[in-house]
Amino acid sequence: MTSLKEERSKGIIALILLTVAFASMGLFVRYLNTGFLLLQQVYLRITAAFILTLILFNKDLSFEKLKQISFKEWSLLVFRGLAMYLFGVTLFSQAILLTKYSNVSFIGSLPFVAVLGVLFFKENINLQKILLIVMAFIGVFLISVQDYSNIFIWGKGEMFALISTVFFSFSYVMRKWHSHLLNNKEITSITFFISAITVFITSLFVGNGLPVGHWTWGLLGAVIGAGLFNVINLFLTNYGFEKVDNVLASNILTLESFFAVILGFIFYREMPGLKEIIGGILIVGSVVLMNQVESNK
């Protein structure tokens, strides 16, 4: 039987992979913006993700369980889906289109998950953990902020990023309230189904219409690719937050900024400067030290 420590280690790996996948999502958002309106691209990405879960997770999906899901469980699935996609992903996508990705990454590193973990689940947090969270945040600050004179001057993009981070955080921590009836793949698939319908109806309600024109092979490929990354993101979120305490998970999520620097170098040959290197060292060091603290409990 797998020990709790082994399960936790798998959860940590899942969250690290999540930060890699999430760091790339802005690329899909900006490319799809050339062919679709905001809500259109969001529900297209989610619909593609739902279809992919039916294919990729087919052997692990039990439709018989749908009859056994309680009202409380359905409510949780709906609330998490709305928080994650109708509000979180939509506002995140709008932020990516309005401001710098580095600004969105910086705001996304605010430790709301850790705060909610302490408030809702009474998770232990001490001075050592607080200092490690601050250490990671300083690292994100060094990587993300380019103009220190304007750090407190926020536009619409920054405000959308802040609100999206709050909704993401609620959806993340609420994973622990699910019963053991559904596995992570089933939760992922059902969440996509609920979210796709909700965002689609919202898109029609605000008058966006159907995306019948402007399709190209590139846009089709981007929709499928974004769908695949959404599957990876949500499954790793459900798996990781099932296994790992929210305080540690919040700390791990700051790695997104670190991986964004690496992806920028790989795809755009953006050479990181001294402050980006120092920031990356602080983030990685904070995550390693926090993991050691948790392991010694």
Q: Is residue 190 part of a domain?
A: yes
Q: Is residue 2 part of a domain?
A: no
pLDDT at 146: 67
pLDDT in tens, 210-235: 998 778 999 999 999 999 999 999 99
Q: Is residue 62 part of a domain?
A: yes
What total of structural domains would you count in the chain?
1
Q: For residue 188, which of 51, 28, 13 has the smallest C-alpha distance? A: 51
* Alpha carbons 184 and 176: distance in angstroms, whole number: 11
Q: Is residue 270 part of a domain?
A: yes
Q: Is residue 101 part of a domain?
A: yes
The answer on pLDDT for 171 being more than 70 is yes
pLDDT at 152: 62
Phi, psi at 218, each rounded to 5°: -65, -45
Are 173 and 117 in contact, with CB atoms under 8 Å apart?
yes
- Residue length, the chain? 297
**Residue 223, H or E segment:** helix 217-243
Q: Is residue 4 part of a domain?
A: no
Task: Give me the helices (H) in 4-126, please.
Answer: 4-23, 25-32, 38-56, 71-81, 90-98, 101-108, 112-121
Q: Is residue 1 part of a domain?
A: no
Residues ≥6 apart with Cβ < 8 Å to 277: none
* Alpha carbons 136 and 285: distance in angstroms, whole number: 8
The answer on pLDDT for 37 being more than 90 is yes
Domain that holds residue 40: 9-295
